Structure 1
Amino acid sequence: MSKEELSPSGAPIYRHEARDRELELATGDSAAAEAITAHIEKHIGPVRHVFSEIISDLVRVNILVVEPSAKRNYYTLVTCGMSDRPMTVPEGAEQFRFAELMLCLPPTWKLSDEAFRSEDNYWPIRAMKVLARLPHEYETWLYHAHTIPNANPPEPYAVNTKLSGMMLSLPTIADDLEAFFTLQLGEDKPVHFFTLLPLYEEEMNFKLSKGADALLEKLAQADVNELVDPRRKNVCKKKLFGLF
Protein backbone atom coordinates (compact mmCIF):
# COMPACT_ATOMS: atom_id res chain seq x y z
CA MET A 1 0.00 0.00 0.00
CA SER A 2 1.06 3.65 -0.41
CA LYS A 3 0.79 6.70 1.81
CA GLU A 4 0.94 10.15 0.24
CA GLU A 5 2.57 13.32 1.53
CA LEU A 6 3.76 16.50 -0.17
CA SER A 7 7.31 17.55 -1.00
CA PRO A 8 8.53 21.18 -0.55
CA SER A 9 7.67 21.75 -4.23
CA GLY A 10 4.10 20.58 -3.63
CA ALA A 11 4.48 17.31 -5.53
CA PRO A 12 3.18 14.12 -3.91
CA ILE A 13 5.56 11.69 -2.20
CA TYR A 14 4.41 8.09 -1.90
CA ARG A 15 5.65 5.97 1.01
CA HIS A 16 5.24 2.34 0.05
CA GLU A 17 4.50 -0.42 2.54
CA ALA A 18 4.86 -4.07 1.59
CA ARG A 19 1.74 -6.21 1.55
CA ASP A 20 1.47 -9.35 3.63
CA ARG A 21 0.97 -11.87 0.83
CA GLU A 22 2.19 -15.10 -0.68
CA LEU A 23 4.07 -15.54 -3.94
CA GLU A 24 1.75 -15.06 -6.93
CA LEU A 25 3.29 -16.96 -9.82
CA ALA A 26 2.94 -15.28 -13.21
CA THR A 27 3.39 -16.98 -16.57
CA GLY A 28 2.97 -13.96 -18.83
CA ASP A 29 0.64 -13.02 -21.66
CA SER A 30 2.05 -14.42 -24.91
CA ALA A 31 -0.27 -12.40 -27.17
CA ALA A 32 0.64 -9.14 -25.41
CA ALA A 33 4.34 -10.06 -25.58
CA GLU A 34 4.08 -10.57 -29.34
CA ALA A 35 2.34 -7.22 -29.78
CA ILE A 36 4.91 -5.39 -27.63
CA THR A 37 7.78 -7.01 -29.52
CA ALA A 38 6.26 -6.01 -32.85
CA HIS A 39 5.79 -2.46 -31.56
CA ILE A 40 9.46 -2.22 -30.55
CA GLU A 41 10.63 -3.63 -33.87
CA LYS A 42 8.45 -1.18 -35.78
CA HIS A 43 9.67 1.93 -33.98
CA ILE A 44 13.21 1.10 -32.79
CA GLY A 45 14.69 -2.04 -34.36
CA PRO A 46 14.84 -5.85 -34.40
CA VAL A 47 14.64 -7.59 -31.02
CA ARG A 48 17.63 -9.95 -31.11
CA HIS A 49 17.69 -11.12 -27.48
CA VAL A 50 15.27 -11.55 -24.61
CA PHE A 51 16.35 -11.84 -20.98
CA SER A 52 13.58 -14.06 -19.67
CA GLU A 53 12.53 -14.71 -16.11
CA ILE A 54 12.21 -18.32 -14.96
CA ILE A 55 10.12 -17.73 -11.84
CA SER A 56 8.05 -14.54 -11.69
CA ASP A 57 6.04 -12.94 -8.92
CA LEU A 58 2.89 -10.98 -9.91
CA VAL A 59 4.07 -10.27 -13.47
CA ARG A 60 6.62 -11.96 -15.70
CA VAL A 61 9.08 -9.20 -16.55
CA ASN A 62 11.24 -10.05 -19.56
CA ILE A 63 13.72 -7.62 -21.09
CA LEU A 64 13.67 -7.14 -24.87
CA VAL A 65 17.04 -6.14 -26.33
CA VAL A 66 17.59 -4.19 -29.55
CA GLU A 67 21.27 -4.26 -30.50
CA PRO A 68 23.32 -1.21 -31.56
CA SER A 69 23.00 -0.18 -35.19
CA ALA A 70 24.37 2.49 -37.51
CA LYS A 71 21.30 4.60 -36.77
CA ARG A 72 21.20 3.99 -33.01
CA ASN A 73 24.65 3.10 -31.73
CA TYR A 74 23.50 1.77 -28.36
CA TYR A 75 21.51 -1.07 -26.84
CA THR A 76 17.83 -0.38 -26.27
CA LEU A 77 16.25 -2.39 -23.46
CA VAL A 78 12.47 -2.54 -22.97
CA THR A 79 10.45 -4.39 -20.34
CA CYS A 80 7.76 -6.78 -21.48
CA GLY A 81 5.20 -7.91 -18.93
CA MET A 82 4.78 -4.96 -16.59
CA SER A 83 1.56 -4.16 -18.45
CA ASP A 84 0.08 -7.62 -17.87
CA ARG A 85 -1.61 -6.12 -14.79
CA PRO A 86 -3.14 -2.66 -14.36
CA MET A 87 -1.47 -0.27 -11.93
CA THR A 88 -3.43 1.33 -9.09
CA VAL A 89 -3.82 4.86 -10.44
CA PRO A 90 -5.51 7.91 -8.86
CA GLU A 91 -8.91 9.03 -10.04
CA GLY A 92 -8.69 10.68 -13.45
CA ALA A 93 -5.58 8.75 -14.53
CA GLU A 94 -7.31 5.60 -15.70
CA GLN A 95 -5.73 5.92 -19.16
CA PHE A 96 -2.32 5.34 -17.57
CA ARG A 97 -2.96 2.03 -15.80
CA PHE A 98 -0.67 0.08 -18.14
CA ALA A 99 3.00 0.82 -18.76
CA GLU A 100 6.35 -0.58 -19.84
CA LEU A 101 9.83 0.84 -19.15
CA MET A 102 12.94 1.33 -21.26
CA LEU A 103 16.49 2.62 -21.15
CA CYS A 104 19.56 2.53 -23.37
CA LEU A 105 23.10 1.28 -22.73
CA PRO A 106 26.37 2.12 -24.52
CA PRO A 107 27.48 -0.31 -27.27
CA THR A 108 30.40 -1.39 -25.06
CA TRP A 109 28.12 -2.50 -22.20
CA LYS A 110 28.56 -6.18 -21.33
CA LEU A 111 25.29 -8.07 -21.67
CA SER A 112 25.72 -11.75 -20.92
CA ASP A 113 24.97 -14.19 -18.12
CA GLU A 114 28.63 -14.21 -17.18
CA ALA A 115 28.88 -10.40 -17.20
CA PHE A 116 25.75 -10.15 -15.07
CA ARG A 117 27.60 -11.82 -12.21
CA SER A 118 29.01 -8.34 -11.62
CA GLU A 119 26.55 -5.73 -10.42
CA ASP A 120 28.53 -3.16 -12.39
CA ASN A 121 27.00 -4.73 -15.50
CA TYR A 122 23.68 -5.94 -14.14
CA TRP A 123 22.35 -2.95 -12.19
CA PRO A 124 20.37 -1.31 -15.05
CA ILE A 125 18.60 -4.60 -15.75
CA ARG A 126 17.94 -5.20 -12.07
CA ALA A 127 16.52 -1.68 -11.70
CA MET A 128 14.19 -2.19 -14.67
CA LYS A 129 12.85 -5.44 -13.22
CA VAL A 130 12.39 -4.00 -9.73
CA LEU A 131 10.55 -0.94 -11.02
CA ALA A 132 8.37 -2.93 -13.42
CA ARG A 133 7.14 -5.02 -10.50
CA LEU A 134 6.95 -2.19 -7.94
CA PRO A 135 3.48 -0.77 -8.76
CA HIS A 136 1.93 -4.23 -8.59
CA GLU A 137 3.72 -5.18 -5.40
CA TYR A 138 2.78 -1.98 -3.56
CA GLU A 139 -0.56 -1.23 -5.24
CA THR A 140 0.64 2.11 -6.62
CA TRP A 141 1.59 3.52 -10.03
CA LEU A 142 4.53 4.88 -12.03
CA TYR A 143 4.17 7.87 -14.33
CA HIS A 144 6.12 10.66 -16.00
CA ALA A 145 8.41 12.57 -13.55
CA HIS A 146 8.01 10.00 -10.75
CA THR A 147 11.34 9.35 -9.03
CA ILE A 148 12.22 6.18 -7.15
CA PRO A 149 15.35 6.02 -4.97
CA ASN A 150 17.46 2.89 -4.73
CA ALA A 151 16.72 2.08 -1.07
CA ASN A 152 16.02 4.58 1.69
CA PRO A 153 18.30 6.47 2.13
CA PRO A 154 19.43 6.17 -1.51
CA GLU A 155 22.42 3.95 -2.23
CA PRO A 156 24.51 3.79 -5.42
CA TYR A 157 23.40 1.01 -7.76
CA ALA A 158 26.92 -0.42 -8.04
CA VAL A 159 30.61 0.24 -7.42
CA ASN A 160 31.06 1.79 -10.88
CA THR A 161 28.51 4.57 -10.34
CA LYS A 162 27.11 7.00 -7.79
CA LEU A 163 23.72 7.07 -9.50
CA SER A 164 21.16 6.05 -6.89
CA GLY A 165 17.64 6.45 -8.25
CA MET A 166 15.45 6.53 -11.35
CA MET A 167 13.10 9.08 -12.86
CA LEU A 168 10.44 8.26 -15.43
CA SER A 169 10.35 10.50 -18.47
CA LEU A 170 9.12 10.53 -22.06
CA PRO A 171 11.14 8.65 -24.70
CA THR A 172 13.30 10.63 -27.10
CA ILE A 173 14.83 7.98 -29.39
CA ALA A 174 11.98 6.73 -31.60
CA ASP A 175 11.36 8.28 -35.01
CA ASP A 176 7.67 8.87 -34.28
CA LEU A 177 7.60 9.55 -30.55
CA GLU A 178 3.84 10.00 -30.30
CA ALA A 179 3.13 6.71 -32.06
CA PHE A 180 5.78 4.89 -30.04
CA PHE A 181 4.62 6.20 -26.67
CA THR A 182 1.25 4.41 -26.81
CA LEU A 183 0.47 0.88 -27.97
CA GLN A 184 -3.23 0.07 -28.02
CA LEU A 185 -3.70 -3.49 -26.77
CA GLY A 186 -7.42 -4.00 -27.05
CA GLU A 187 -10.14 -1.40 -26.76
CA ASP A 188 -9.49 -0.50 -23.12
CA LYS A 189 -5.77 -1.19 -22.77
CA PRO A 190 -3.45 1.58 -23.91
CA VAL A 191 0.13 0.67 -22.92
CA HIS A 192 2.49 3.62 -22.46
CA PHE A 193 6.27 3.37 -22.79
CA PHE A 194 8.28 5.49 -20.35
CA THR A 195 12.02 5.91 -20.36
CA LEU A 196 14.13 5.65 -17.20
CA LEU A 197 16.67 8.34 -16.33
CA PRO A 198 19.19 7.31 -13.63
CA LEU A 199 19.69 10.11 -11.08
CA TYR A 200 22.09 11.14 -8.36
CA GLU A 201 20.79 11.70 -4.82
CA GLU A 202 21.35 15.45 -5.15
CA GLU A 203 19.21 15.51 -8.30
CA MET A 204 16.37 13.68 -6.55
CA ASN A 205 16.58 16.14 -3.66
CA PHE A 206 16.52 19.04 -6.10
CA LYS A 207 13.37 17.66 -7.70
CA LEU A 208 11.67 17.38 -4.30
CA SER A 209 12.61 20.98 -3.52
CA LYS A 210 12.16 22.73 -6.87
CA GLY A 211 9.88 20.40 -8.82
CA ALA A 212 10.18 18.01 -11.75
CA ASP A 213 10.15 20.69 -14.47
CA ALA A 214 13.18 22.42 -12.95
CA LEU A 215 15.13 19.17 -12.82
CA LEU A 216 14.12 18.12 -16.33
CA GLU A 217 15.33 21.51 -17.61
CA LYS A 218 18.72 20.98 -15.95
CA LEU A 219 18.99 17.47 -17.36
CA ALA A 220 18.06 18.67 -20.85
CA GLN A 221 20.69 21.42 -20.70
CA ALA A 222 23.29 18.76 -19.88
CA ASP A 223 22.03 16.50 -22.71
CA VAL A 224 21.00 13.79 -20.26
CA ASN A 225 18.62 11.29 -21.83
CA GLU A 226 17.82 7.56 -21.70
CA LEU A 227 21.37 6.58 -22.72
CA VAL A 228 22.94 5.51 -19.43
CA ASP A 229 26.33 6.98 -18.48
CA PRO A 230 27.38 5.64 -15.04
CA ARG A 231 29.80 8.52 -14.55
CA ARG A 232 27.90 11.40 -16.12
CA LYS A 233 27.96 14.91 -14.70
CA ASN A 234 25.82 15.53 -11.62
CA VAL A 235 23.69 18.50 -12.66
CA CYS A 236 22.82 19.40 -9.06
CA LYS A 237 26.16 18.97 -7.33
CA LYS A 238 27.04 22.05 -5.31
CA LYS A 239 30.23 23.92 -6.09
CA LEU A 240 32.61 24.18 -3.16
CA PHE A 241 34.52 27.45 -2.75
CA GLY A 242 34.71 27.91 -6.49
CA LEU A 243 37.16 25.02 -6.85
CA PHE A 244 34.94 22.67 -8.84
Structure 2
Amino acid sequence: MYSDQSNQMICNHIEQYIGVIDNVFKEVISDVLSIDILIVNPTPERNYYTLITSGMSEFAMQVPDGAEEYQYTELMICLPPTWKLSDEAFKDERNYWPVRALKTTARFPHEYNTWLYMGHTLVNGNPVQPYSEDTGFKGMFVWVPEVEDQSGFFNLEMNSEKVVHFYTLIPLFGEELDYKVKHGEEELLNKLNKIGVTDVLNPSRKNSCKKRFGLF
Protein backbone atom coordinates (compact mmCIF):
# COMPACT_ATOMS: atom_id res chain seq x y z
CA MET A 1 0.00 0.00 0.00
CA TYR A 2 1.08 3.54 -0.71
CA SER A 3 2.29 5.21 2.48
CA ASP A 4 0.01 7.77 4.12
CA GLN A 5 2.90 10.22 4.25
CA SER A 6 3.56 9.98 0.51
CA ASN A 7 -0.13 10.33 -0.29
CA GLN A 8 -0.41 13.37 1.98
CA MET A 9 2.55 15.05 0.29
CA ILE A 10 0.93 14.49 -3.11
CA CYS A 11 -2.40 15.84 -1.83
CA ASN A 12 -0.71 18.94 -0.39
CA HIS A 13 1.12 19.49 -3.67
CA ILE A 14 -2.09 19.27 -5.69
CA GLU A 15 -3.93 21.64 -3.38
CA GLN A 16 -1.07 24.14 -3.60
CA TYR A 17 -0.91 24.21 -7.41
CA ILE A 18 -4.28 22.94 -8.70
CA GLY A 19 -7.03 23.32 -6.10
CA VAL A 20 -8.93 21.65 -3.28
CA ILE A 21 -9.33 17.88 -3.59
CA ASP A 22 -13.08 17.31 -3.46
CA ASN A 23 -13.25 13.56 -3.86
CA VAL A 24 -11.12 10.43 -3.99
CA PHE A 25 -11.81 7.24 -5.94
CA LYS A 26 -10.12 4.68 -3.71
CA GLU A 27 -8.61 1.52 -5.13
CA VAL A 28 -10.87 -1.22 -3.77
CA ILE A 29 -9.05 -4.27 -5.11
CA SER A 30 -5.39 -4.03 -5.95
CA ASP A 31 -2.24 -6.08 -6.16
CA VAL A 32 1.08 -4.64 -5.04
CA LEU A 33 0.43 -1.25 -6.66
CA SER A 34 -2.53 0.66 -5.24
CA ILE A 35 -3.57 3.71 -7.27
CA ASP A 36 -6.17 6.16 -6.00
CA ILE A 37 -7.66 8.92 -8.17
CA LEU A 38 -7.77 12.38 -6.58
CA ILE A 39 -10.43 14.70 -7.99
CA VAL A 40 -10.40 18.49 -8.09
CA ASN A 41 -13.83 19.82 -9.08
CA PRO A 42 -14.32 22.63 -11.62
CA THR A 43 -13.75 26.18 -10.36
CA PRO A 44 -14.12 29.59 -12.07
CA GLU A 45 -10.34 29.60 -12.65
CA ARG A 46 -10.14 25.98 -13.85
CA ASN A 47 -13.59 25.17 -15.19
CA TYR A 48 -13.04 21.42 -15.58
CA TYR A 49 -12.42 18.32 -13.50
CA THR A 50 -8.80 17.42 -12.79
CA LEU A 51 -8.16 13.75 -11.99
CA ILE A 52 -4.72 12.87 -10.63
CA THR A 53 -3.24 9.52 -9.64
CA SER A 54 -1.72 8.87 -6.23
CA GLY A 55 0.27 5.67 -5.88
CA MET A 56 2.00 5.28 -9.24
CA SER A 57 5.15 6.83 -7.77
CA GLU A 58 5.39 4.29 -4.95
CA PHE A 59 7.84 2.36 -7.12
CA ALA A 60 10.53 3.55 -9.50
CA MET A 61 10.08 3.03 -13.23
CA GLN A 62 12.77 1.30 -15.29
CA VAL A 63 14.33 4.37 -16.89
CA PRO A 64 17.25 4.32 -19.36
CA ASP A 65 20.73 5.36 -18.24
CA GLY A 66 20.89 9.10 -17.75
CA ALA A 67 17.18 9.50 -16.98
CA GLU A 68 17.33 8.51 -13.31
CA GLU A 69 15.81 11.87 -12.36
CA TYR A 70 12.55 10.75 -13.99
CA GLN A 71 11.99 7.43 -12.22
CA TYR A 72 8.91 8.58 -10.30
CA THR A 73 5.70 9.80 -11.89
CA GLU A 74 2.04 10.54 -11.29
CA LEU A 75 -0.45 11.14 -14.11
CA MET A 76 -3.51 13.32 -14.58
CA ILE A 77 -6.33 13.86 -17.04
CA CYS A 78 -8.73 16.80 -17.32
CA LEU A 79 -12.43 16.32 -18.09
CA PRO A 80 -15.16 18.81 -19.09
CA PRO A 81 -17.33 20.22 -16.25
CA THR A 82 -20.33 18.32 -17.66
CA TRP A 83 -18.60 14.91 -17.36
CA LYS A 84 -20.47 12.41 -15.19
CA LEU A 85 -18.31 11.27 -12.28
CA SER A 86 -20.12 8.88 -9.94
CA ASP A 87 -20.23 5.17 -9.18
CA GLU A 88 -23.55 4.97 -10.99
CA ALA A 89 -22.28 6.86 -14.05
CA PHE A 90 -19.17 4.66 -14.16
CA LYS A 91 -21.30 1.60 -14.88
CA ASP A 92 -21.42 3.05 -18.40
CA GLU A 93 -18.05 2.75 -20.14
CA ARG A 94 -18.78 5.95 -22.06
CA ASN A 95 -18.35 7.77 -18.76
CA TYR A 96 -15.70 5.57 -17.19
CA TRP A 97 -13.16 5.18 -19.98
CA PRO A 98 -10.96 8.21 -19.11
CA VAL A 99 -10.62 6.93 -15.54
CA ARG A 100 -9.88 3.41 -16.74
CA ALA A 101 -7.29 4.78 -19.18
CA LEU A 102 -5.67 6.86 -16.44
CA LYS A 103 -5.30 3.84 -14.15
CA THR A 104 -4.20 1.50 -16.95
CA THR A 105 -1.57 3.97 -18.14
CA ALA A 106 -0.32 4.46 -14.57
CA ARG A 107 0.15 0.71 -14.16
CA PHE A 108 1.73 0.15 -17.57
CA PRO A 109 5.38 1.03 -16.84
CA HIS A 110 5.39 -1.10 -13.69
CA GLU A 111 3.78 -4.10 -15.37
CA TYR A 112 6.07 -3.99 -18.41
CA ASN A 113 9.32 -2.76 -16.79
CA THR A 114 9.48 0.42 -18.84
CA TRP A 115 8.91 4.13 -18.26
CA LEU A 116 6.72 7.07 -19.26
CA TYR A 117 8.09 10.47 -20.18
CA MET A 118 6.79 13.58 -21.91
CA GLY A 119 6.30 12.92 -25.61
CA HIS A 120 5.59 9.21 -25.14
CA THR A 121 2.40 7.71 -26.54
CA LEU A 122 0.55 4.64 -25.35
CA VAL A 123 -2.08 2.85 -27.43
CA ASN A 124 -5.23 1.17 -26.13
CA GLY A 125 -5.03 -2.59 -26.53
CA ASN A 126 -3.48 -4.99 -28.99
CA PRO A 127 -4.89 -4.78 -31.59
CA VAL A 128 -5.47 -1.07 -31.01
CA GLN A 129 -9.10 -0.13 -30.41
CA PRO A 130 -11.16 2.88 -29.29
CA TYR A 131 -11.55 3.41 -25.53
CA SER A 132 -15.33 3.16 -25.82
CA GLU A 133 -18.04 2.78 -28.45
CA ASP A 134 -18.71 6.53 -28.66
CA THR A 135 -15.14 7.77 -29.10
CA GLY A 136 -12.48 7.53 -31.78
CA PHE A 137 -9.63 8.03 -29.32
CA LYS A 138 -7.26 5.07 -29.33
CA GLY A 139 -4.29 6.16 -27.24
CA MET A 140 -2.73 8.73 -24.93
CA PHE A 141 -0.07 11.38 -25.41
CA VAL A 142 2.00 12.11 -22.30
CA TRP A 143 2.78 15.80 -21.85
CA VAL A 144 3.49 18.58 -19.34
CA PRO A 145 0.33 19.88 -17.62
CA GLU A 146 -1.04 23.35 -18.28
CA VAL A 147 -0.96 24.98 -14.84
CA GLU A 148 -0.13 28.50 -13.72
CA ASP A 149 3.20 27.51 -12.14
CA GLN A 150 4.29 24.82 -14.57
CA SER A 151 7.75 24.09 -13.20
CA GLY A 152 6.55 24.25 -9.59
CA PHE A 153 3.81 21.69 -10.18
CA PHE A 154 5.92 19.43 -12.40
CA ASN A 155 8.44 18.66 -9.64
CA LEU A 156 7.50 17.36 -6.19
CA GLU A 157 10.55 16.65 -4.03
CA MET A 158 9.58 13.82 -1.67
CA ASN A 159 13.07 13.58 -0.15
CA SER A 160 16.69 14.17 -1.17
CA GLU A 161 16.65 11.08 -3.40
CA LYS A 162 13.12 11.10 -4.81
CA VAL A 163 11.40 13.66 -7.03
CA VAL A 164 7.93 12.90 -8.42
CA HIS A 165 7.03 14.40 -11.81
CA PHE A 166 3.47 15.07 -12.93
CA TYR A 167 2.32 14.53 -16.53
CA THR A 168 -1.03 15.00 -18.21
CA LEU A 169 -2.66 12.59 -20.66
CA ILE A 170 -4.11 13.88 -23.93
CA PRO A 171 -6.32 11.38 -25.83
CA LEU A 172 -5.37 10.86 -29.48
CA PHE A 173 -7.02 9.44 -32.58
CA GLY A 174 -5.38 6.53 -34.39
CA GLU A 175 -4.13 8.76 -37.22
CA GLU A 176 -2.52 11.10 -34.68
CA LEU A 177 -0.74 8.19 -33.00
CA ASP A 178 0.58 7.05 -36.39
CA TYR A 179 1.64 10.60 -37.28
CA LYS A 180 3.62 10.95 -34.05
CA VAL A 181 5.50 7.70 -34.72
CA LYS A 182 6.42 8.88 -38.24
CA HIS A 183 7.08 12.57 -37.62
CA GLY A 184 7.83 12.99 -33.91
CA GLU A 185 6.22 14.79 -31.00
CA GLU A 186 6.99 18.37 -32.09
CA GLU A 187 5.24 17.92 -35.43
CA LEU A 188 2.25 16.33 -33.71
CA LEU A 189 2.10 19.19 -31.19
CA ASN A 190 2.01 21.66 -34.08
CA LYS A 191 -0.97 19.79 -35.51
CA LEU A 192 -2.78 19.68 -32.16
CA ASN A 193 -2.09 23.35 -31.43
CA LYS A 194 -3.48 24.39 -34.82
CA ILE A 195 -6.90 23.02 -33.91
CA GLY A 196 -6.78 24.29 -30.33
CA VAL A 197 -6.30 21.03 -28.41
CA THR A 198 -5.75 21.65 -24.68
CA ASP A 199 -5.35 19.51 -21.56
CA VAL A 200 -9.13 19.23 -21.27
CA LEU A 201 -10.63 16.22 -23.04
CA ASN A 202 -12.94 17.34 -25.85
CA PRO A 203 -14.99 14.33 -27.03
CA SER A 204 -16.11 16.14 -30.18
CA ARG A 205 -12.81 17.67 -31.27
CA LYS A 206 -11.48 17.35 -34.79
CA ASN A 207 -8.92 14.75 -35.79
CA SER A 208 -5.79 16.83 -36.49
CA CYS A 209 -4.33 14.19 -38.83
CA LYS A 210 -7.44 12.99 -40.64
CA LYS A 211 -6.87 12.48 -44.34
CA ARG A 212 -9.34 14.59 -46.28
CA PHE A 213 -10.39 13.87 -49.83
CA GLY A 214 -11.95 16.22 -52.35
CA LEU A 215 -11.93 19.99 -52.16
CA PHE A 216 -12.48 20.44 -48.43
TM-score (norm 1): 0.87
Residue number among 119, 125, 130 corresponding to 1:145 in the alignment: 119
Instruction: Find the counterpart in structure 2 of residue 198 from structure 1.
Output: 171
Residue number among 126, 136, 151 corresponding to 2:110 in the alignment: 136
The 5 Å alignment of 1:63-78 reads 63-78=37-52
Amino acid at match of 1:130: T
The 5 Å alignment of 1:147-166 reads 147-166=121-140
For the 8 Å contact 1:58–1:137, the answer to whether it is kept is no
Amino acid at match of 2:44: A
SS in 2 for 1:143: coil
State the Cα distance separating 1:143 from its structure 2 match. Answer: 0.5
Residues 147-169 of structure 1 show CA distances to partners (whole Å, capped at 9, x for unaligned) of 01101232111122111100100
Instruction: Find the counterpart in structure 2 of residue 80 from structure 1.
Output: 54
Residues 196-231 of structure 1 show CA distances to partners (whole Å, capped at 9, x for unaligned) of 010000000001111111001111222212100122
Taking the aligned partners of 2:31 and 2:198, their CA distance within structure 1 comes to 30
Instruction: Find the counterpart in structure 1 of residue 201 from structure 2.
Output: 228
Identical amino acids, percent of aligned pairs: 49
Instruction: Find the counterpart in structure 2 of residue 184 from structure 1.
Output: 157
Give structure 2 stretches of 5+ with no counterpart: none
Residues 108-162 of structure 1 show CA distances to partners (whole Å, capped at 9, x for unaligned) of 1000000000000000000000011111111100000110110123211112211
Moved >2 Å (runs of 4+): none
Instruction: Find the counterpart in structure 2 of residue 57 from structure 1.
Output: 31
Taking the aligned partners of 2:5 and 2:117, their CA distance within structure 1 comes to 24
| Matched pairs, number | 216
Residues 39-78 of structure 1 show CA distances to partners (whole Å, capped at 9, x for unaligned) of 0000010001000101212311100000001111100110
Moved more, 220-229 or 47-56: 220-229
Taking the aligned partners of 2:60 and 2:90, their CA distance within structure 1 comes to 30
State the Cα distance separating 1:28 from its structure 2 match. Answer: 1.5
Taking the aligned partners of 2:120 and 2:32, their CA distance within structure 1 comes to 22
SS in 1 for 2:188: helix
Taking the aligned partners of 1:80 and 1:31, their CA distance within structure 2 comes to 12
For the 8 Å contact 1:58–1:136, the answer to whether it is kept is no
Q: What's the Cα RMSD here?
A: 0.9
Taking the aligned partners of 1:43 and 1:222, their CA distance within structure 2 comes to 27
Taking the aligned partners of 1:206 and 1:105, their CA distance within structure 2 comes to 24
State the Cα distance separating 1:241 from its structure 2 match. Answer: 1.7
SS in 1 for 2:22: strand
Taking the aligned partners of 1:38 and 1:186, their CA distance within structure 2 comes to 15
